[in-house]
Amino acid sequence: MDEDGLRVMGGSKTTSTSTWPFVGSLNAECGAVLIGKHYALTAAHCCVDGDLKVKTAYEVCLNA
């Protein structure tokens, strides 16, 4: 990280997306892993809004 802790310094190239096709993102905010044809696993805090109400719509993006 740089002095402000905002940017990664001296990072390396990441692997291609085809290497980990089951890993993606949930609502472009959290990481997600495909665990079944219709199921993705993510952290619990990714599924609630600021008032701790369960979100009703999700978008999972894989291999992007």
Name the residue ranges covered by the structural domains of the chain: 17-62
Q: Quick one: pLDDT at residue 9?
A: 67
Tokens of 7: 């940017």
Query: What confidence tens digit (pLDDT) does each residue in 20-64 have?
Result: 788 888 888 899 999 998 899 999 999 988 888 998 888 888 875
Listed in sequence order, the residues at least 6 apart from 18 whose beta carbon sits closer than 8 Å to its beta carbon are 63
The beta-carbon contacts of 34-43 under 8 Å, at least 24 apart in sequence, are: 34/60, 34/62
The mean per-residue pLDDT over the stretch 15-19 comes to: 69
**What are the Cα distances from residue 48, in Å, to 3, 5, 13?**
33, 27, 33
